[in-house]
């Protein structure tokens, strides 16, 4: 089955883990990377432009792509946060096609399906990934977001927000001068 079959949000989210046995755990290893206690000037967010479900393997691929560029260029001078948790269980009723397949498949009888993965539901304008960097590293973070958004099934936009702590620091510096 292709990932595009699970991309559109059709029905209510299926999260009942009591009934789905043997569903695969999410592939996302870490949700927060980098310097957690650092003081950063800019915050950049990767926002969704459509209402969609994103599979756990796509989220992990985007996280790895973004983190790889940030680690190469900035070493540990950043904070990367993945905001989504894939809690929706995706099921698939596998059918066998081809010669003599009619003896093996059951059609719609007992068509509950087996769990094949998990996904996260994303609304329009919801942040997917956030990166905080210092003032000189804003272009590196934009390049990392461009590389990471290619791994996601939707078009994303990048929003740059000046950190409140940096803005407060700038106003206190101008007041003292």
Q: pLDDT tens across 104-119, in order? A: 566 677 677 788 888 8
∠ CA 86-91-92, nearest 5°, is 140
CATH of the domain at 120: 3.90.1170.10
Alpha carbon distance 22, 19 (integer Å): 10
Q: pLDDT tens across 117-148, in order? A: 888 999 999 999 999 999 889 999 999 999 99
pLDDT above 90 for 47: yes
| Distance set, CA 63 to CA 12, 17, 76, 90, 120 (Å) | 27, 25, 15, 21, 14
**Cut 0.85: pTM above it:** no
| Distance set, CA 44 to CA 66, 87, 99, 131, 145 (Å) | 12, 25, 53, 5, 9
Q: What percent of the chain has pLDDT over 70?
A: 73
Query: What is the domain range of residue 8?
Result: 3-176
CA–chain centroid gap for 102, Å, is 39
Question: For the chain, how many structural domains are there in total?
Answer: 1
Query: What pLDDT score does 117 carry?
Result: 85
Query: What pLDDT score does 175 carry?
Result: 41
Residue 82 or residue 174, greater confidence: 82
Alpha carbon distance 71, 88 (integer Å): 31
Q: Count other C-beta atoms under 10 Å from residue 83's C-beta.
A: 15
pLDDT above 50 for 176: no
| Spatial CA neighbour of 163 closest among 137, 124, 126 | 137
């Amino acid at each position: 089955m292709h990932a595009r079959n699970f991309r559109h949000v059709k029905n209510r989210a299926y999260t009942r883990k009591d009934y789905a046995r043997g569903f695969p755990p999410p592939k996302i290893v870490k949700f927060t990377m980098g310097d957690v206690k650092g003081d950063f000037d800019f915050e950049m967010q990767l926002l969704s432009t459509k209402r969609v479900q994103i599979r756990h393997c796509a989220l992990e691929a985007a996280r790895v792509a973004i983190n790889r560029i940030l680690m190469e260029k900035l070493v540990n001078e950043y904070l990367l946060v993945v905001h989504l948790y894939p809690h929706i269980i995706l099921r698939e009723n596998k059918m066998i096609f081809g010669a003599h397949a009619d003896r093996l498949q059951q059609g719609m009888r007992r068509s509950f399906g087996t769990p094949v993965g998990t996904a996260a539901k994303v609304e329009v304008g919801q942040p997917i990934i956030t990166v905080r960097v210092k003032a000189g590293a804003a272009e590196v973070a934009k390049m990392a977001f461009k590389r990471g958004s290619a791994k996601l099934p939707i078009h994303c936009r990048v929003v740059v927000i000046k950190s409140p702590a940096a803005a407060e620091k700038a106003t206190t510096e101008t007041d003292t001068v």
